[in-house]
Amino acid sequence: MKKYTVLIVGGGSTWTPGLLKGICARQETFPIEKLIMYDVNEERQQVIGDFAKTLFREDYPEIDFHYTTSKDEAFTESIDFVFVQMRTGGYTMREQDEKIPLEMGLIGQETCGPGGFAYGMRSIKDMIELVQNVRKHNKEAWILNYTNPAAIVAVALQNAFPEDKRILNICDQPENLLRSYGRLLNMNERDFDPVYFGLNHFGWFTNLYDPEGKDLLPLLRETILDGGFRPADHEQRDQSWLDTYAMVEQMVRDFPDYLPNTYLQYYLYPDKVLQKLNPSFTRTNEVQNGREKRVFDDCRRVSETGTAKDSNVIVNDAHGEFILIVAESIAHNKGNNFIVILKNNGIVSNLPDDAMVEVSASLYANGPRPYAVGDIPVFYKGLIEGQYAYERLTAEAFMEGSYAKALQALTLNRTIVSASKAREVLDALIEANQGFWPELR
Ligand code: NAD
Ligand code: G6P
Ligand code: MN
């Protein structure tokens, strides 16, 4: 079996150890010859990189591994897959994205509303550069991207590289949800054949077929309405995630047609969700005290003790496993079905062709083959079109350095609505993001 060369960009990410454990677990099905980790932050990269050395010495001794902050070492012609999980501006800027809107009574969230807008404007620049760096040496490598806000990154990369067929933006939340459905129904998530449509962090499951072709969605709906909804993954057990999962029941009660992505809570109930968000202690603070601390402390401990055997650093299997099974399906031309982000081109027939939709597709060596969704009902179409316009205007505001388009984007966002609020938050975010955003005129 061919052995692959993989580059992880954002090697110092809190999610990297989980991904590395996944790599160890899949050596039979996705063998890796060479693994490079690249990050712009030397300290973060070193902590996670040294953890990796210990882990691989014990679990994957034949892998040729090194980590670097040098672009020349990272971007080479031999790469088969690039896994991207970078955070431009780090948690310092994520905190601003959350707190600035919250201080104005608006939703402050990593990927939704004004915070998602601000993060998008930062991510686009680095993501475009990343693709250029990869393509300088290598036209064939698959770029699998987790970097958020994946919805906006996907639109921007589609605009910047319209002919590039080997960039695939992915999100693990549909996978997290499938695992939660599995937990509720006492089934394995891989036995579900889901139908899903929407934009990233803005979509719905319409059907959930079992191996015999029976649609389990009605049963699941009743189960949620009877007993509520719970996360499967341990990573999503912090209070903010429990609050998020608790909102699923309400969404299903109000809009029972389909099962919603959890991120829809911010758009459908901004007033209610705001009551749960604390402007002086946001998700960033929760992550800094939780996942980030746990991961970095444990990685340091593993390097000191010289063994990763007792490491419990990974509490989210879905994240690391999902990108690997996506890569495996492409590498081996398996055509397995996954929910991924693709240019619409008629998949949802009554949405614009250039929207970046999140849908089911079979993933082959030559790319995804999506399943047609057909027409969607007017309520969902209306919601998606507003959000699609917001995403597109955000990408255009970046490309054109346009204040007018930024203001239009934020005014369209359902978490804001008021144009004067949109202007107020935009001006504050411009101030906070100096050096990260292009100048908006
Ligand atoms: P993190 O800050 O811990 O890790 C990101 C790393 O990227 C940092 O070490 C940082 O130094 C590095 N980095 C920043 N700019 C870079 C650049 N230009 N090139 C290379 N490296 C760079 O953040 P995290 O919480 O671990 O998340 C990482 C990313 O993955 C975020 O964008 C997050 O939103 C995303 N994510 C997405 C999904 C999804 O469903 N799509 C799921 C989980 C995480
Ligand atoms: C989910 C989403 C991601 C998000 C992640 C972590 O998996 O799909 O897009 O980045 O949660 O969010 P957190 O708030 O824990 O950093
Ligand atoms: Mn996501």
Q: Of all atoms in ligand 1, which is nearest to the CA of residue 94? A: 2
pLDDT value for 393: 98
The H or E element spanning position 123 is: helix 113-137
Tokens of 46: 């070193």
Residue of the CA atom closest to atom 16 of ligand 2: 287
| Ligand 2 binding pocket, CB closer than 6 Å | 110-111, 148, 171-173, 176, 283, 287
pLDDT value for 255: 98
pTM of the model: 0.98
Ligand 3 centre and the CA of 148: distance in Å?
Answer: 7
Q: Of all atoms in ligand 1, which is nearest to the CA of residue 12? A: 9
pLDDT tops 80 at residue 234 = no
- Has 354 been annotated as catalytic? no
pLDDT tops 70 at residue 130 = yes
Beta strands in 240-399 (DSSP E): 259-260, 336-343, 356-364, 367-370
Nearest ligand to residue 299 Cα: 1
Q: Are 357 and 198 in contact (CB under 8 A)?
A: yes
Ligand 1 centre and the CA of 399: distance in Å?
Answer: 22
- Has 263 been annotated as catalytic? yes
Distances in Å between the Cα of 240 and the Cα atoms of 84, 148, 247, 280 are: 25, 19, 11, 14
CA atoms within 13 A on the CB side of 111: 21
Mutate to test the pocket of ligand 2, among 110, 233, 265 (most ligand atoms within 8 A of CB): 110
pLDDT tops 90 at residue 131 = yes
Dist. CA 92–CA 86, nearest whole Å: 14
Nearest to 151 by CA among 416, 325, 394, 366: 394
Q: What is the pLDDT of residues 176-226, one digit of tens each?
A: 999 999 999 999 999 999 999 999 999 999 999 999 999 999 999 999 999
Catalytic residue among 39, 80, 126, 172: 172
Mutate to test the pocket of ligand 1, among 86, 132, 157, 316 (most ligand atoms within 8 A of CB): 86
pLDDT value for 315: 61
Q: Of all atoms in ligand 2, which is nearest to the CA of residue 176? A: 7
Q: What is the pLDDT of residues 282-309, one digit of tens each?
A: 999 999 999 999 999 999 999 999 999 9
Q: Are 330 and 364 in contact (CB under 8 A)?
A: yes
Distances in Å between the Cα of 347 and the Cα atoms of 196, 199, 265, 373 are: 11, 12, 25, 6
Q: Tell me the β-bridge partners of 66.
A: 36
pLDDT tops 90 at residue 402 = yes
